[in-house]
A and B are shown apart, each in its own frame.
Chain A
Amino acid sequence: MVNLLENSSSPLATACGIPLPAPPVDHLDQLEAKSVHILREAYANFKQLCMLWSIGKDSTVLLWLARKAFFGHVPVPLVHIDTSYKIPEMIAYRDRLAMQWNLTMIVGQNTAALEAKRTFPAGAVDRITCCGSLKTEALKHTLSGEWPRKRLNLKTGLYELDRNTEPFTGVIVGARADEEGSRSKERYFSPRSHANAWDVGEQPPEFWNQYKTEFAPGTHVRIHPLLDWTELNIWEYIEREQIPTVSLYYDQGSGKRYRSLGCGPCTQCVESGAKNVPEIIEELKSGKFANIAERSGRAQDRDDGGGLESLRRDGYM
């Protein structure tokens, strides 16, 4: 078998030996199984499906779970919104993994706002407005296909204009319920109206592994396979699965590292000497971050008194 399936199980390999006893099911196994189930439901029910990849640890875990769900393949295009303020290493990491894992990589951008410099801190706009235009607006129009999408050519390694302008009706997102207030109200399958708006009070019920997979024309759905994961779960899973992550999360000798990745101007490093995944896990469990909210380094949360909610109602991830 080819190297794509490098880690794939082959029962033939153990068939001659003694069968391995089933390992005890732990919390990460439970989380993984649930997320994989949701990813497969999404894939079976939505024709125009994509997955948002912010390059951060959560959506990278999500990408890994897609490889689990689809046995090494990722049959869903990945959409990344490039604000142009992302830290350069993130972009290099994105394209490297895209080539290595044969990903269908789609990139969208609010070029108009960037050219007109309606950004923070370059232009005369505040953080929330900047987020709104470079992320929310760009995402909205990239998903709908109204704005140009660029697609990575896996042969040349270059981005080309994507001919496909079909709107995506299902969008897989790596949001976690423990991140901040508004996200704890999300459903696994969360409908958005035509204008991407989110009606918090009128959400469909979800139970017994049954989700809202029927949609009226004009609506689309956000799918949240990571809703039950915590920040610590994410790192423990990265450690267990040896998932490659961007090095900005680790202290490179300066005594600082990023805990949460976003745009350069609005994401601050935290004081931390954690140099690798086990050290981050230790820090989260018993160290200095055990009781500090993850997004405390994200300035836009504080500026939005509602804990991101006003941004999210309008389509922010």
Chain B
Amino acid sequence: MLTATAPPATDHRCLNLVIGGHVDHGKSTIIGRLLADTRSLPEGKLEQVRARCERNSKPFEYAFLLDALKDEQAQGITIDAARVFFKTAQRPCILIDAPGHIEFLRNLITGAARAEAALLVIDAKEGVRENSRRHGYMMGMLGIRQLVVLVNKMDLVGYDRAVFERIQAEFRAFLTQLGVEPGGFIPVSGREGDNIACHAESMPWYEGPTVLETLDRFRSEAPDADKPFRLSVQDVYKFTGQGDDRRIVAGTIDAGRVSAGDDVVFYPSGKKARVASIEGFSRKPQLTASAGEATGFTLAEQLYVARGEIATVAGQPRPQVATRLKASIFWLGREPLVKQKEYMLKLGTTRVPVRVEDIHRVLDASTLKVDDAKDRVDRHEVAECTLQTSRPIAFDLASDLATTSRFVLVEDFEIRGGGIVREALPGSTKNATPRRESSRPGSILASRRAERYHQRAALVVVAGGSGFARQVEESTFEAGHIVTCIEAKSNSARSIDRLVECANLLLDSGIIVIAGFADLEPEELSMIREQVGAGRVLVVSAGGADASELAADLIISDPGLPGAARQVRTLLQERGIVFKPW
């Protein structure tokens, strides 16, 4: 956090900066000033704008420098999150101009979500307005930690210290409610250039830094290299051209670092493998890649992982895996966010259908007034909701790791909202995966099938060797039961989904299903338990190290011994799946 006593930063990295504020409070003028005073304008540009003003008999204004678009000048408003480049004494800056009009709030969000620091402009004459508060709120929610408020047009209020201090007190109180600590308030005049690049003689009572000095004190956000490793898998590449045989897991590192030799675990599948190499093109060989890098790595074992999973390092804090999550959401769609509708949720590289299960409270971002009774979220409102995804996804909580807690909501091909995950909730009993019994009303009851077949349906998960699963199938069949065996070819989330779907169909038909896995992660097993119903699942560990983690119903130390399959049959008898002679 920026403080008045902070020593000048020696940060030379590019600073992404957003500027917001109510319409006509003078953002564009301030940006024009910053460009001119830092000599960041290409000569051609300034002359072009001056010439155009002359042609149209308009007095030159600094704001015109930005209004490069024709229709924008006609409307007299800034309409998009335009990027402006300039350099302070210390470093390059990209300034994202967030527009003031309410209908362009989505552009502020686009701008602010990219920014590491923010300037908020308030007109000294008009004071704090609706969008001053709304923008302040959004900047806070989007995670901008460095915010400085510019009280502009001080020339219009006679450089009156009391006006400045009144606005400062009012807005500081508002920000404090949000838990945002402003990095400072600066009295400025964009038109006169006061306190932008130079200290203003007109305001000797102000002894704080100028806007430019403030920019140099902002810190570029350090990538989260010291946090747990997270990489949202963008793709797994296997380009075979020119005899290349590498299979590369590619993505940008959201947090932490990864090294060759690390064991990585992918979520939600829970698949695990060792990193063989960090890959790159035309760069120095590297053993480690860290946060912010767009990188790739190969694995020592062949694994089927797909886009959408989050790679982590074994032993570090795990991400959450769930189908239900509590989130803070802001909504930009013209049509309100409602409960009945299906939306698409995108988090990292995951894309999953989602429904709003509950809307707990809706917040007006400019008044901070809470409405507990509302059952929809209107445009530009912020709400606390429970979301339910159609399959388990991996994520972090906003309080743990910001990047992997952020998601957007897509409706009709458009990004209509965004949010951050606050909490992972236990799976729903009512409609996480619709149970087949209820989805096929009028079908034969499970109890009638059990009576007819002399067995209850059950899924026997055999972890550690699919060959053994076949033996169990054989011996169960020989004992006169209706049984079949399915095998998980690869343990991707998709293949688990398919397996669960098959198993549910077979189980609903009254059949005993043996499912063999070469190896099985606890996360995968909990997905299966959740989606099949824990009461219908038995777990047999037949080798593999993680027997204890799986909470197996039966552990077979050597499936090669004669009689091993027979032990499974005994388990089925004990659990009342098949008839036990007495």
Q: Is the CB of A43 within 8 A of B235?
A: yes
Q: Check: B389 CB closer than 8 A to any chain A CB.
A: no
A7-B283, A73-B241, A212-B414 known; A12+B277 contact, CB < 8 A: yes
Interface hits, A193-210 → B, CB 8 Å = 200-201, 203-210
B414 (CB) vs chain A CBs: closest residue: A204
Interface string of A53-91 (1 = CB under 8 A from B): 000000000000001111111010000000000000000
Taken together as a complex, chains A and B put the C-alpha atoms of A184 and B295 apart, in Å, by 28
Q: Is the CB of B109 within 8 A of A205?
A: yes
Q: Check: B223 CB closer than 8 A to any chain A CB.
A: yes
Q: Is the CB of B94 within 8 A of A292?
A: no
Contacts of A306 in B (CB 8 A): 69-70
A12-B277, A19-B288, A210-B415 known; A241+B13 contact, CB < 8 A: no
- Interchain CB contact (< 8 A) of B280 among A27, A71, A293: A71
Secondary structure class of chain B's binding surface, majority of residues:
mixed
Taken together as a complex, chains A and B put the C-alpha atoms of A184 and B68 apart, in Å, by 9
A68-B282, A200-B69 known; A2+B13 contact, CB < 8 A: no
Q: Check: A116 CB closer than 8 A to any chain B CB.
A: no
Contacts of B287 in A (CB 8 A): 11, 14-15, 19-20
Contacts of B281 in A (CB 8 A): 5, 7-9, 67-68, 70-72
Count of chain B residues with Cβ under 8 Å from any Cβ of A?
76
Stretch at the interface among A31-39, A107-115, A144-152, A262-270: A31-39
Q: Is the CB of A70 within 8 A of B237?
A: yes
Contacts of A1 in B (CB 8 A): 243-244
Q: Is the CB of A20 within 8 A of B284?
A: yes
A2-B242, A180-B68, A292-B42 known; A40+B414 contact, CB < 8 A: no
A215 (CB) vs chain B CBs: closest residue: B413
Taken together as a complex, chains A and B put the C-alpha atoms of A94 and B44 apart, in Å, by 31
A307 (CB) vs chain B CBs: closest residue: B68
Interface hits, B335-371 → A, CB 8 Å = 344, 346, 349
Q: Is the CB of A5 within 8 A of B244?
A: yes
Contacts of B196 in A (CB 8 A): none
Q: Check: B427 CB closer than 8 A to any chain A CB.
A: no
Q: Check: B292 CB closer than 8 A to any chain A CB.
A: yes
Q: Is the CB of A200 within 8 A of B79?
A: yes
Contacts of B280 in A (CB 8 A): 8-9, 68, 71
- Interchain CB contact (< 8 A) of B294 among A40, A43, A293: A40
Q: Check: A214 CB closer than 8 A to any chain B CB.
A: yes
Contacts of A10 in B (CB 8 A): 277, 285
- Interchain CB contact (< 8 A) of A227 among B14, B83, B106, B109: B83
Taken together as a complex, chains A and B put the C-alpha atoms of A214 and B79 apart, in Å, by 23
Taken together as a complex, chains A and B put the C-alpha atoms of A212 and B413 apart, in Å, by 8
Q: Is the CB of A214 within 8 A of B110?
A: no
Q: Is the CB of B413 within 8 A of A22?
A: no
| Minimum distance in angstroms from B54 CB to a CB of chain A | 14
Q: Check: A156 CB closer than 8 A to any chain B CB.
A: no
B46 (CB) vs chain A CBs: closest residue: A291
Taken together as a complex, chains A and B put the C-alpha atoms of A36 and B234 apart, in Å, by 11
Interface string of B71-98 (1 = CB under 8 A from A): 1000000011011110000001010000
Q: Check: A95 CB closer than 8 A to any chain B CB.
A: no
Interface hits, B236-288 → A, CB 8 Å = 237, 239, 241-244, 246, 248, 250-252, 257, 260, 277-288
Q: Check: B514 CB closer than 8 A to any chain A CB.
A: no
Q: Is the CB of B234 within 8 A of A11?
A: no
Q: How many A-B residue pairs have CB under 8 A?
A: 219
A32 (CB) vs chain B CBs: closest residue: B294
A241 (CB) vs chain B CBs: closest residue: B282
Q: Check: A158 CB closer than 8 A to any chain B CB.
A: no
Q: Is the CB of B110 within 8 A of A206?
A: yes
Q: Check: B494 CB closer than 8 A to any chain A CB.
A: no
Q: Check: B307 CB closer than 8 A to any chain A CB.
A: yes
Q: Is the CB of A27 within 8 A of B13?
A: yes
A210-B346, A307-B68 known; A30+B44 contact, CB < 8 A: no
Taken together as a complex, chains A and B put the C-alpha atoms of A8 and B277 apart, in Å, by 12
* Most chain B CB within a 10 A radius of its CB, from A22, A67, A212: A22
Taken together as a complex, chains A and B put the C-alpha atoms of A171 and B285 apart, in Å, by 32
Contacts of A69 in B (CB 8 A): 250, 294
Q: Is the CB of A214 within 8 A of B410?
A: yes
Q: Check: B418 CB closer than 8 A to any chain A CB.
A: yes
B289 (CB) vs chain A CBs: closest residue: A22
Contacts of A203 in B (CB 8 A): 80, 107
- Interchain CB contact (< 8 A) of A37 among B142, B234, B415: B234
| Minimum distance in angstroms from A228 CB to a CB of chain B | 6
Q: Check: A153 CB closer than 8 A to any chain B CB.
A: no
Q: Is the CB of B42 within 8 A of A291?
A: yes
Q: Check: B293 CB closer than 8 A to any chain A CB.
A: yes
Q: Is the CB of A204 within 8 A of B415?
A: yes
Q: Is the CB of A291 within 8 A of B294?
A: no
Q: Is the CB of B288 within 8 A of A2?
A: no
Q: Check: B45 CB closer than 8 A to any chain A CB.
A: yes
A26-B13, A73-B244 known; A9+B284 contact, CB < 8 A: yes
Q: Check: A178 CB closer than 8 A to any chain B CB.
A: yes
Contacts of B412 in A (CB 8 A): 216
> What are 14 inter-chain pairs, A to B, with CB distance below 8 A?
A9-B284, A36-B294, A71-B248, A71-B250, A71-B296, A73-B241, A73-B242, A180-B68, A185-B69, A200-B71, A291-B39, A292-B43, A307-B68, A307-B69
> Lowest 8 A-B CB distances belong to which pairs?
A181-B68, A207-B113, A293-B44, A7-B282, A36-B294, A9-B285, A4-B242, A293-B42
Using a CB–CB cutoff of 8 Å, the interface residues on chain B facing chain A are 13-14, 39, 41-45, 68-71, 79-80, 82-85, 92, 94, 106-107, 109-110, 112-114, 142, 223, 234-235, 237, 239, 241-244, 246, 248, 250-252, 257, 260, 277-288, 290, 292-294, 296, 307, 332, 344, 346, 349, 403, 406-408, 410, 412-415, 418
Other than A11-B287, A210-B346, give 16 A-B pairs with Cβ distance below 8 A: A9-B277, A9-B284, A11-B286, A13-B285, A29-B292, A40-B235, A68-B282, A71-B237, A71-B280, A178-B85, A187-B110, A200-B69, A201-B79, A207-B408, A207-B418, A309-B69
